[in-house]
Structure 1
Amino acid sequence: MAEKDLAGRKALVTGSATGLGRSIALKLAERGADLIINCTRSLSEAEETVAECNKLGAQTQLVAADVSTEEGCRKLADAASGWGRLDILVNNAGITRHAQDHSDLDALTRQDFLDTYAVNVAGPFLLMQACKPLLEKAYEESGRASAVLNVSSIAGVTGIGSSVAYAATKGALNTMTLSLARALAPAIRINAVCPGFIGTRWFKDRLNSDQYERMEAGVAKATPLGVASGPDDIADSAVFFLTDASRHVTGETLLVDAGMHLGYAPLSAR
C-alpha cells in the first residue's frame, strides 16, 4: 500500500487515458491526490482510468480537451479552478508523425511539423499559461512549490526517434523546461522526464504481435540494463518529480531509458 503523501493535493495529467499518462495518474491517485484525467478522443479508455483512480480513493473528473488549442487549455484550467488551486501539472499529451528514416526529408511535410509542435510544444506552454494562477495559488496556500512535469523523450536529447519532427519538438520542450523553471521559481518548479522505448499502443497499434515482440526483444538487447520499459517503469521515476522527495529539484531533465543513450543503434539499422 503506497504512502498517502500526496493526500489533499490536486493534479492534472494530460493525455492520461492510456499509456504513460494513465500510469502516472494511477500512481498519483494511489498516493492520495485528486485528479483531472484528460483525453482528446480516447473517451472509453479515459473513463476506465477515471474508474480506476476512483477505486484508489481519488476524487476524479474527466475533461476531454485538445491541449494544442487555447480553448482546450482554458477548459482544463477552468475544471481545475473548481479546486481553487493546482498542486501538480503533468504535460504528458504528445503526438508524432512516423518517419523513421531521418534521411528521407520528403517523408515529412510542413503541416506534419506544425501539427507535432502544436501538441508537443505549444500545448505545454498554453496549459502553463492557463494554469499559472492556480499553480501560484497552491504555493501561496502551502508554502510549497507547485510541481510541473514535462514528459519529453530521449529523442530530444539524442535526435533519434520516430521522426525528425518529433525529436525537434522534444528538444524544444527540454529547453522550455529550463526557461520556465528559471522564470517561474520559487512558486513553481518544473522538470522533465525523457523516456526511451515505452511499450505502449504507439507501437502496438502499428505492429502485429510477432513484430512487436521482436521489437521489444531488440530494444532489451540494445540497452545496457537489458530491459524494455513499460509505462509503470517510467511512471515510477516520473512521480519522484511530483512529490516532496524532489522539493529542491527544478530545471532537471532526467533520462529514463535503461541506459539506451549510452549506446543505441536505431532498430532499422540492426
Structure 2
Amino acid sequence: MAKGGLNVIVTGSASGLGAATARILAQDGARLLINYASSEKDAHAVAEECRKLGAAEVVVAQGDVSKDEDCKKIVGAAAHWGTLDALINNAGTTKHVAHHLLDELSAEDFQRLYAINTIGPYQMVRAARALLEAGAKASGRASAVVNVSSVAGISGVGSSIAYAASKGALNVMTMSLARALAPAIRVNAICPGYIDTPWFTKGRGAEAAKQVRDAVTSAVPLQIASSPEDIAELVCFLATPRSSSMTGELVRMDAGMHLGEFKAVTRKQ
C-alpha cells in the first residue's frame, strides 16, 4: 500500500471490515474519520487503536448513512482537513432470510436495505464530492471512492434476496458514478464472499453461523474463511494511489467461490 498520510472517511468502521481497514490506513499515518450509527463505545475503541498505530488524526462521527442530513454531518466532521483522498463506503446491513421464503421479506425490508446499502453510499459520495475533488486538485491525482459490495450482488447469493438486490444495485451505481465523476474521482467496488466476522452470528445465532462457516470453507476452492484483514488489504489498495489506473471495477475476492456452485447460504434451511 502506498504511503502518504491520506485523508480518509470510512463509514461503518466501529467493527469488522471497516475497523480492519482503518487500522491498516492508520499505520501509514492517515487522517481518519471513524463512523458509527449506534456502536459508540466500539467506535471510540477503534479510534484509540488507530491513534496508537500511527494515525495523524482520528475523528469519530456518529451518523446513519441512510439519512442524507447525517451523511452531510459525517463529511462535515472532516471538512477542516480541506481535502479528502478517499471515501470508503463500508456501512451496510442485511436481513437473514432463506431465499425460498418469499413471504418473510416485506417491501419495508427492501426499502431499509436499499436505504443503507445503496442510497447511503450515493448520499455519502454526493456529500463528499467537493472535498474529494479538492483532494484531487491538491495531489494531482484522482481521489478514490471504494464501495464495499458483495458477491451476492453478482451471483444472487447471500443472506437474503433483498440484500443481494441492494448490492447488485450498488455495483451498477459504482460504474455509473465512475463515469460521472472522472477524471477527478475514481470509483470502484469490492465484492467479497464470506468474511469471518460476527455478521452471521448476530443474524442467525452461533450454531447456524458455524454451519455457514464450515460450509464455506469446505466448498470454496481455497478452503479458507477470509478474515476482515484479508479483505481490508484490497480495500486499502483501491483507496490509495497504487490503484490509480482503476475505475469502474467490481473486484471479486471470494476464495474462489465463483468457480463452482455454492448454495450454503441460499438453500432451504
Q: Would you say 1:67 and 2:65 are equivalent positions?
A: yes
Cα deviation for residue 217 of structure 1 reads 2.0
Cα deviation for residue 151 of structure 1 reads 0.1
Residue of structure 2 aligned with 1:104, choices 96, 101, 104: 101
Q: Would you say 1:48 and 2:50 are equivalent positions?
A: no
1:41-69, Cα deviation, whole Å (9 max, x unpaired)? 01111111001000012110100101111
Cα deviation for residue 97 of structure 1 reads 1.4
**Residues 20 and 130 of structure 1: CA distance in aligned 2, closer, same or farther (over 3 Å):** same
Q: State the distance in 2 between where 1:8 and 1:197 align.
A: 30
**Residues 80 and 108 of structure 1: CA distance in aligned 2, closer, same or farther (over 3 Å):** same
Q: State the distance in 2 between where 1:138 and 1:208 align.
A: 43
Could you tell me which residue of structure 1 aligns to residue 159 of structure 2? Answer: 162
Q: State the distance in 1 between where 2:116 and 2:208 align.
A: 28
Could you tell me which residue of structure 1 aligns to residue 193 of structure 2? Answer: 196
Higher relative contact order (CA 8 A, sep 6+): 2
Could you tell me which residue of structure 1 aligns to residue 119 of structure 2? Answer: 122
Residue of structure 2 aligned with 1:229, choices 226, 231, 235: 226
Stretches of structure 2 lacking an aligned partner (at least 5 in a row): none
Q: Would you say 1:265 and 2:262 are equivalent positions?
A: yes
Residues 134-143 or 6-15, more deviating:
6-15
Stretches of structure 1 lacking an aligned partner (at least 5 in a row): none
Q: Would you say 1:133 and 2:112 are equivalent positions?
A: no
Cα deviation for residue 11 of structure 1 reads 0.2
Runs of 4+ residues deviating >3 angstroms:
206-214
Could you tell me which residue of structure 2 aligns to residue 79 of structure 1? Answer: 77
Determine helix, strand or coil for the equivalent of 1:200: coil
Q: State the distance in 1 between where 2:74 and 2:116 align.
A: 15
Residue of structure 2 aligned with 1:250, choices 232, 247, 251: 247
Q: State the distance in 2 between where 1:214 and 1:99 align.
A: 15
Cα deviation for residue 203 of structure 1 reads 1.2
Q: State the distance in 2 between where 1:104 and 1:21 align.
A: 31
Cα deviation for residue 204 of structure 1 reads 2.2
Q: Would you say 1:174 and 2:176 are equivalent positions?
A: no
Could you tell me which residue of structure 2 aligns to residue 91 of structure 1? Answer: 89
TM-score by length of 1: 0.95
Q: Would you say 1:150 and 2:111 are equivalent positions?
A: no
Q: State the distance in 2 between where 1:206 and 1:99 align.
A: 9
TM-score by length of 2: 0.95
Query: One-letter code of the match for 2:58?
Result: T
